[in-house]
Structure 1
């Protein structure tokens, strides 16, 4: 699996647009998103195993609820799975929790991005619940992966993004607004 310090792989994927544009129907609901999209911004890319499942919409909806907070931090959210853009669109239309989803849903149908990242489940052949925070230069600054049966905490991803953007030493349980560690002060106290 690619990890901190690795370049996020180049990609170009079809996606269902976020917001109401994503509900206009085939031909109008789709766009193409690549690693060059939203240049100069932080990117949070999260994967889920399959559409029309049980845990996935809870995570997607939870990320979407924080979309404004990620945007306030100059970050964009991209959700992705190995399902097609047509399956994504159908799922949005039929699931109240994600119908008005504000973020795009990327279709990694050839599994090229999932494979390049090393996040395909060996038994199921679908993406694990992986999350990557990528800096504006395209370098992975944080990576996390859960098994297929355990959801993640988008609020924690936001906390990690906040910490990464401070460029400071952030202790355990650090939250935005807390002071970072100052090594010079710690040595003086000893």
Structure 2
């Protein structure tokens, strides 16, 4: 599995960025992320039960990621057409403000080491990448367990301080 200190792999994938006809898709690559902190989170499958709770939670905190000047990208191994259908038909996903990356070939998930062996779906993995494209934080949950978006924000903010942060540090508290 890709870990801390390693360069995030190069990629070029289609992402769903809008529900507006004719503007649904864009190509997204690692080049688009350079120069800013980035959070890329993966979910196993569209049209499931835990996944939309996480996606909407990230969207609920989208402004917080923007305040930290960070890119936010969601991804799974489903196609852009499945992403679009899911966004169109799921009330909570209609207003998603970040790209939903389609890793249909599963090549990026495989390169990251997050492809589950039996079903060939991505684990619930979260990567924080610095402006130079280096992985600074990785968290992976079991397929059945949703993640904690405020914790992702806390870690991102701690990393951005460039300082030592003690156990249970919260933004606004003193660093070491």
Instruction: Place the TM-score, normalised by the shorter chain, in its bin.
Output: over 0.9
Report the counterpart of residue 2 of structure 2 in structure 1: 2
Q: TM-score, normalised by structure 2?
A: 0.98
Report the counterpart of residue 187 of structure 1 in structure 2: none
Q: Deviations over 1:138-160 (max 9, x none)?
A: 00000000111000001100000
For 1:89, which of 55, 80, 84 is the aligned residue?
Answer: 84
- Cα distance in 2, alignment partners of residues 15 and 54 from structure 1: 21
1:16 paired to 2:7: no
The higher radius of gyration belongs to 1
For 1:140, which of 132, 135, 139 is the aligned residue?
Answer: 135
For structure 2, the residue ranges without an aligned partner over 5 or more in a row are none
Which consecutive segments of 4 or more residues in structure 1 shift more than 3 A?
none
Alignment of 1:2-81 (within 5 A): 2-17=2-17, 22-25=18-21, 27-81=22-76
Alignment of 1:166-185 (within 5 A): 166-181=161-176
Q: Could you say what the CA RMSD is over the residues aligned between the two structures, in angstroms? A: 0.8
Q: TM-score, normalised by structure 1?
A: 0.91
For structure 1, the residue ranges without an aligned partner over 5 or more in a row are 182-190
